[in-house]
């Protein structure tokens, strides 16, 4: 078993090297360092859906000021674009590591999160659905090409991604499958097309509910774009036949400007956050316009290497009973 695990580790390295190189080329990104922790109370940490608890601890050398382990770097990256004076049309890529202790365990979720977190400086004129779509196509093409390189190196890992990715708004998806839950709708559309980008996630749909939760202060999910669909954000999902389910690889979007931030804070009854450091900078026009997102490293490796459990491609914490049960199925966690 040990040698097989070692081969898996080598294959993980191969996938990460190939895809990160293609992503850098596709989006004109510069690799940079990133933090594991940020100070609490600054508004920098990603609030995800607004209810997940970060890992928090006091720092002795800072008079017991508290720090939090990041959930993701959605807002930190925007500040970093400013600090590094990144030009329009350029961006940054970070190798993000995060902890989400409130995450529910499933074969595709653990409390440890590893992402390619990227952010790109754009012009105000790029705040359009067409720009979002062109960026999604570049990312998907990098995924598509990576899978084919994996197949060349490991012929038994057959490439299955379709050549094209389908675009659909969350409202259109609701109208297409009105009797299904959001996750059931994702399964249905991903199975139909093989790869899909669902856009406009966070705002209420015609049934009175959002497709999924989004924080108010990073992705712009409330702006009406030129196609008259809500939102300038979305998720890349593919169909994963090994687990018979839609499989989210990336969440991304054009980031809020001042107008969208105020609107979304009002919608969420969170105007008190406008006083936080990050939000204050944005409202004072001190931060660049940008687009960004996260792409799950373990998710990509799991799909490319045709694994059925995320623990096969990342080291996390699992209970002994689960390890034993999976080992009986010849599924060995790292």
- Which one is catalytic: 20, 34, 46, 147? 46
Q: Reduce the DSSP state of residue 114 to 3 states and report it.
A: strand
Cα dihedral 64→70→73→77 (10° resolution): 20
CA-to-CA distance for 35 and 57, rounded, in angstroms? 15
**46, 75 contact by CB (below 8 A):** yes
| Distances, alpha carbon 160 to alpha carbons 16, 147, 214, 242, in Å | 18, 8, 30, 11
- Which one is catalytic: 248, 257, 289, 312? 248
- Which one is catalytic: 245, 251, 264, 298? 251
CA gyration radius, the chain: 20
- Which one is catalytic: 100, 127, 185, 214? 100
Q: Reduce the DSSP state of residue 25 to 3 states and report it.
A: helix
Q: Any long-range contacts for 7-10 (C-beta under 8 Å, 24+ apart)?
A: 8/305, 8/312, 8/313, 8/334, 9/334
Q: Does 298 participate in catalysis according to the annotation?
A: no
- Which one is catalytic: 47, 114, 186, 235? 235
Q: Does 3 participate in catalysis according to the annotation?
A: no
Q: Where are the alpha helices (DSSP H) in 154-269?
A: 170-176, 182-193, 258-267
Q: Does 170 participate in catalysis according to the annotation?
A: no
Cα dihedral 220→226→229→234 (10° resolution): -40
Q: Does 134 participate in catalysis according to the annotation?
A: no
**43, 273 contact by CB (below 8 A):** yes
Q: Does 126 participate in catalysis according to the annotation?
A: no
- Which one is catalytic: 20, 34, 115, 264? 115
Contacting residues for 128 by C-beta, under 8 A, at least 6 apart: 225, 226, 232
Q: Does 325 participate in catalysis according to the annotation?
A: no
Burial (CB < 10 A; 0-12, 13-18, 19+), residue 60, is: exposed
Positions marked active-site? 46, 100, 115, 235, 248, 251
């Amino acid at each position: 078993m040990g040698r097989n695990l070692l081969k898996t580790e080598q294959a993980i390295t191969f996938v990460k090297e190939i895809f990160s190189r293609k992503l850098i080329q596709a989006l004109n990104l510069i690799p940079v360092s990133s933090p594991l922790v940020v100070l609490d109370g600054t508004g920098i940490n990603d609030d995800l859906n607004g209810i997940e608890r970060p890992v928090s601890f006091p720092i002795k050398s800072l008079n017991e000021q508290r720090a939090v382990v990041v959930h993701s770097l959605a807002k930190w990256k925007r500040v970093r674009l400013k600090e590094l004076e990144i030009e329009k049309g350029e961006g940054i890529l970070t190798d993000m590591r995060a902890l989400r202790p409130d995450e529910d365990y499933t074969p595709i979720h653990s409390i440890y999160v590893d992402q390619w977190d990227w952010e790109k400086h754009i012009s105000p004129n790029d705040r359009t659905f067409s720009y979002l779509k062109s960026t999604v196509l570049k990312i998907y093409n990098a995924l598509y090409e990576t899978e084919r390189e994996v197949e060349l190196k490991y012929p038994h890992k057959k490439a299955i991604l379709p050549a094209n990715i389908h675009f659909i708004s969350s409202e259109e998806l609701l109208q297409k499958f009105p009797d299904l839950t959001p996750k059931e709708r994702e399964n249905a559309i991903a199975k139909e097309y093989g790869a899909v980008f669902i856009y406009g996630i966070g705002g209420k749909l015609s049934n009175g509910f959002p497709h999924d939760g989004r924080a108010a202060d990073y992705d712009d999910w409330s702006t009406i774009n030129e196609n008259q669909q809500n939102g300038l954000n979305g998720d890349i999902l593919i169909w994963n036949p090994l687990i018979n389910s839609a499989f989210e690889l990336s969440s991304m979007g054009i980031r809020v400007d001042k107008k969208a931030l105020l609107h979304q804070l009002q919608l969420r009854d969170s105007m008190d956050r406008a006083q936080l450091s990050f939000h204050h900078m944005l409202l004072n026009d001190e931060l660049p316009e940008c687009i960004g997102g996260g792409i799950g490293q373990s998710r990509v490796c799991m799909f490319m290497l045709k694994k059925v459990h995320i623990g096969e491609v990342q080291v996390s914490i699992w209970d002994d009973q689960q390890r034993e049960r999976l080992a009986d199925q010849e599924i060995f966690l790292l």
